[in-house]
Structure 1
């Protein structure tokens, strides 16, 4: 468990921050961008939770905890000699749980016959917003994986999470009945 007695340390005042392994990098470092975007996604999921109830609220709380796991995974570069299980990493069971949640939520939805706009109820709108931030985090993670080692399960988790958030947004829109459909060229 983490204990914080002081919130500010002044150690980042010159544009540097510490990764989970103690390495100092610029705050613009691609790894910092990736886990910072995961943190942003977590905040947007928190906004969605303000409008959620019951099972949806519990599911979103689990997602928020997973997003902290994902941030911890990303902030600590894998060492060449890392022993599996010694660092907090996203694991296959977290991906499997997302896939089961996607399948369960999708069962009540009619198949899509059109693209939908990120709109509808306040809960749906926040879930769509969270989805787009998770997609950005995923893109940053993939870019990071081109230059440094990234846990492949972390990238897969982000991919599945954006799918889950999309499906949950449809659920929040009256199981898709209140989805706002895209009308190609409709605003011309």
Structure 2
């Protein structure tokens, strides 16, 4: 229902990111950025936040790895004095609508994680022109992508994020196909609840 509403009103899928309040301050709080903003307090907004935050917990080694052999960024840092800033995010690498033998529409997605090193430009953090392939966060993103479907079966928040991606693909299909949808389709989800704090400490500063 929420994915349908976002597609109808904004013409795209729901988005979320955790951004530094003050990019020039390495100890800055991070702010939750929902797009569109009204997703704050909704089930969709909470799924995206929880998945994003848990990805950061896993990559920083603040939580046990979901697959044997996966190493956190901290374990992939060979130079203990190395300092860097980077971002990671979920991506949909493949999305399609499939039709079963009995004509049931089935959304399919293949998801992954990407990472980029960031540099300070003025008062903003921007992606570096080139991120080396052996960057600790890039290596973690590649490992996570390789085992994404297995991780989704072991981590409920990743599973629900993948289901949200499927819902967004289905919503795009329904809207672009010109289907006539009763208003009840857009009213199925619960109303937004009181939101949790929109600014939170950086995960690695809490360790």
TM-score, length-scaled by structure 1: 0.29
Between structures 1 and 2, the one with greater helix share: 1
TM-score, length-scaled by structure 2: 0.27
Between structures 1 and 2, the one with greater strand share: 2
